[in-house]
Amino acid sequence: MSVRRQKLYSKEICACSIFGAMSRAGERFTGERVIRAMASMHHRGNGLGGGFAAYGIYPEFREYYAFHLMFTGDARAQREAKRAAEEFLLRNFDVVHDEEIPHSDDVHVRDPPLLWRYFLSPSKHGEDIDLPDDEYVVRKVIHVNSAIDNAYIFSSGKNMGCFKGVGYPEEIGRYFMLDRLYRGYLWTAHGRFPTNSQAWWGGAHPFGLLDTTVVHNGEISSYGTNRWYLEMLGYKCTLHTDTEVLAYAVDLLMRRQDLPMEIVAKILAPPTWETIDRMDVRKRELLTALRRIYAPLLMNGPFAVIVAQSGRMIGLTDRIRLRPLTVATRGDMFYISSEEASVRLISPSLDSVWSPRGGEPVVCEIDGMFEGRLEHEIAGAA
Amino acid sequence: MEEVQLEVSYGRTSNESAIEIDASHMDTRELNSLLRDLMLSGYERAVLRNVCGQRYIGTRLYSPQRRVMTIEIHGTPGNDLGAFLFGHRIVVHGNAQDGVGNTMASGEIVVEGRSGDVTGMSMRGGRIFVKGDVGYRSALHMKEHDQKRPVIVVGGTSQDFLGEYMAGGVVILLGLYGAHTASFIGSGMHGGVIYIRGEIGEEQVNSHVLISRPDDADTEILGSQISAFIERFPDLSLDVDCILDSEWTKLSPRSSRPYGKLYASTAPD
């Protein structure tokens, strides 16, 4: 059969896509299936941002903070940014290894910055000497991102890394050769359709600080309030995108204040006052206190996010689920996605599939085998 | 505009008016264009295999002659399955995503698994049968007019905001697999009716929705729609009388303008 047809206007875009895959047994796998799953949600984005976070990818440097930096601007600006950033890093860290982040020139991407990675450990002096490592690193990251022109640390955890840029996620995945060069036990990914903010390499998701990363579909309309509150506590928002505040809020609540995810979810996406009024007295008091104390961290507006940390992946939507999130399991594998089809593409059979209630976090943690298994893998590789 | 040539080749099944299609490498537009070509060439049944995320399946299938076909889907169809559906029948042998039956006009969608958020959103006519549960905001702004009265029958339950801004039509939750935990049911509801089998608390339902027991006329509607549901899912081995003989709750709007005075208490009714 042969049919003649008018070619239609082919733009068909709608929203962001988010995806996460984690092996609860700590088995590491390449980004190949994650890229395929993201490609199946191609039409959700518009090619103005794609990115991945991968955990367990640097076992040989697992003791060291892995910094991924981008140097933007023209070649001269990039060189100058690199020089200034390196001078700062060498003054404050012991750098054990550094190299350009490998990328494939076969994949065409728009205006790639110079991308470099450093494996380092803190070298504290002066009044910083008593700071815990993580706090020290956070302060230095904030300094580079806010005070050194054209230099951005977009990944700063141990044994993990963010890879992101302007393009469709499958292009960014191939650009960084995530299907060939890395194996991780946890991957998250994002396809972007920027609404209120500009598309640039630093503004692509994931956003991260230390080993916490966030990919986000939606819009944080409380950004102004959230930012004001976080900046009061020492964070600086430098990436021109609403999602940035989520990464810092999670760092503040989980690392600095040591709150469990169940509580953090109720701060970011609290139940309505109407719902709180119907709770039993203890729960009501707790939720009321959280809403009062943490009012400036309430994330208003529609969102679905995947938060990842070493050994843990969390899915959360706003309290009335204005953005989609589907969760699925198959054996040791745990998936979170904007769409079930993308999970079925790489895992046609699933043990369970569900959509969590708005404001209720879904938390997947690696089992106790994690440390041993990684040790074992390193021994096996050597 | 540029014209493109589309070559289509496929094997025919024993039934000449039926056809089997491997959708694994087709995008949304290709698949829907192919379905349209098939409908116009007289096919009455299309079996789609390896469907994975293609959207709007069954849309653009309008014809002045009101041709109808059955579309069977193996795999996971993408969002807005059966959008603007015009009299066709879609059967999904699995789960469906968000927006099933978005603004459908007539016809029928059968989902043998679960269905996502906004199932039956803005639906104008026809019926949707979901064996499992449905997500948030199902029957959102569903409406009826004259003889057209859309119906959604769900085997399980729904998540929050069922029947939000509902303006017409019928929604039935059979509650076959567990308790109803949804909240904010019927927020902004100003038409239509929701029937729920099993316990439902007053606090789960929006305050401008009237909670009552179904009367004889309601039971008649329930009987015929539940029988249709049972017919589509024979493996559930359900008995219509047994289902009817349970605790049922009817939800209907108290007012045709629930938010008439939201912003100014002096607004006209």
What residue in B sits closest to A271 (Cα-Cα)? B183
Residue pLDDT, tens place only, B148-203: 999 999 999 999 999 999 999 999 999 999 999 999 999 999 999 999 999 999 99
Confidence at residue B11, expressed as pLDDT on a 0 to 100 scale: 46
Indicate the CATH number of B80-253 among 3.40.50.1820, 3.30.70.100, 2.160.20.60, 3.40.50.1100: 2.160.20.60
Is A16 one of the annotated active-site residues of the chain?
Answer: yes
Task: Answer yes or no: do A4 and B5 touch at CB < 8 A.
Answer: yes
Asked if A268 and A191 touch (Cβ cutoff 8 Å), the reply is: no
What residues does each domain of chain B span? Answer: 1-78, 80-253
User: pTM of the full predicted structure?
Assistant: 0.91
What residue in A sits closest to B11 (Cα-Cα)? A1
Confidence at residue A241, expressed as pLDDT on a 0 to 100 scale: 85
pLDDT at A120 exceeding the cut of 50 = yes
**Nearest by CB: B95 against A1, A275, A340:** A340
Confidence at residue A249, expressed as pLDDT on a 0 to 100 scale: 96
Confidence at residue A382, expressed as pLDDT on a 0 to 100 scale: 35
> What mean pLDDT comes out for the span A305-309?
96
Residue pLDDT, tens place only, A1-23: 455 555 555 555 567 999 999 99
In chain A, pLDDT over 70 holds for what percent of residues?
A: 92
**Phi-psi category of B97—alpha, beta or left, where left has phi over 0 and alpha has psi -120 to 50?**
beta
Give the count of beta carbons closer than 10 Å to the beta carbon of residue A98: 14
Asked if B172 and B193 touch (Cβ cutoff 8 Å), the reply is: no
Would you tell me which residues 277-316 of chain A have a C-beta closer than 8 angstroms to some C-beta of chain B? 278
pLDDT at A379 exceeding the cut of 50 = no
Contacts with A2 from chain B: Cβ below 8 Å: 5-8
Contacts with A320 from chain B: Cβ below 8 Å: 136, 160-161, 184
Confidence at residue B263, expressed as pLDDT on a 0 to 100 scale: 79
pLDDT at B13 exceeding the cut of 60 = no
In chain A, pLDDT over 90 holds for what percent of residues?
A: 82
> What mean pLDDT comes out for the span A107-135?
96
> What mean pLDDT comes out for the span A231-255?
93
ipTM of model over 0.85: yes
pLDDT at A106 exceeding the cut of 70 = yes
pLDDT at A299 exceeding the cut of 90 = yes
Residue B253: burial class (beta carbons within 10 Å; 0-12, 13-18, 19+): buried
> What mean pLDDT comes out for the span A157-170?
96
Task: Answer yes or no: do B4 and A40 touch at CB < 8 A.
Answer: no
Confidence at residue A9, expressed as pLDDT on a 0 to 100 scale: 56
pLDDT at B2 exceeding the cut of 80 = no
Lowest mean pLDDT among A97-106, A167-176, A363-372, B221-230: A363-372
Residue A232: burial class (beta carbons within 10 Å; 0-12, 13-18, 19+): exposed
Query: Hey, of A342, A344, A347, A352, which one would you mutate to test binding to chain B, going by the most B CBs within 10 A of its CB?
Result: A344
pLDDT at A375 exceeding the cut of 50 = no
Residue pLDDT, tens place only, A271-286: 999 889 999 999 999 9
Confidence at residue A47, expressed as pLDDT on a 0 to 100 scale: 87
Contacts with A326 from chain B: Cβ below 8 Å: 97, 116
- Residue of higher predicted confidence among A303 and B262: A303
SS3 A208: strand
Instruction: Kindly state whether A353 is in contact with chain B, defined as any CB-CB distance less than 8 angstroms.
Output: yes
Q: What share of chain B is helix, strand, coil (3-state, %, to 5)?
A: 15, 30, 55
Residue pLDDT, tens place only, B203-246: 999 998 999 999 999 999 999 999 999 999 999 999 999 999 99
Confidence at residue A13, expressed as pLDDT on a 0 to 100 scale: 59
Q: What's the Cα-to-Cα distance from B93 to each of A349, B50, B83, B115, B254, rounded to whole Å? A: 13, 11, 18, 12, 38
Angle CA A79–A80–A83, to nearest 5: 85
Residue pLDDT, tens place only, A311-332: 999 999 999 999 999 999 999 9
pLDDT at A371 exceeding the cut of 50 = no
Nearest alpha carbon to residue B156 among B211, B111, B101: B111
Confidence at residue B14, expressed as pLDDT on a 0 to 100 scale: 47
Residue B65 structure tokens: 């002659």
- Residue of higher predicted confidence among B67 and A197: B67
- Average pLDDT of chain A to the nearest whole number: 91
pLDDT at A296 exceeding the cut of 80 = yes
Nearest alpha carbon to residue B59 among B87, B80, B82, B78: B82
Residue pLDDT, tens place only, B85-135: 999 999 999 999 999 999 999 999 999 999 999 999 999 999 999 999 999
pLDDT at B1 exceeding the cut of 60 = no
In angstroms, the separation between the Cα of residue A49 and the nearest Cα of chain B is 21
Nearest alpha carbon to residue A323 among A17, A58, A38, A24: A17
Confidence at residue B268, expressed as pLDDT on a 0 to 100 scale: 56
Residue A258 structure tokens: 């040591």
> What mean pLDDT comes out for the span B23-44?
95
R_g (Cα) of chain B, nearest Å: 20
Instruction: Please list, residue by residue across A354-375, b when 16 or more beta carbons sit within 10 angstroms of its beta carbon and e when fewer do.
Output: ebbbbbbbbebebeeebeebbe
Instruction: Kindly state whether A195 is in contact with chain B, defined as any CB-CB distance less than 8 angstroms.
Output: no
Lowest mean pLDDT among A27-31, A367-371, B237-241, B242-246: A367-371
pLDDT at B8 exceeding the cut of 70 = no
- Residue of higher predicted confidence among A252 and A377: A252
What residues does each domain of chain A span? Answer: 17-377
Task: Answer yes or no: do B136 and A320 touch at CB < 8 A.
Answer: yes
User: A17-377 in CATH: which number?
Assistant: 3.60.20.10
Amino acid identity at B97: Q
Residue A105: burial class (beta carbons within 10 Å; 0-12, 13-18, 19+): exposed
Amino acid identity at A207: F
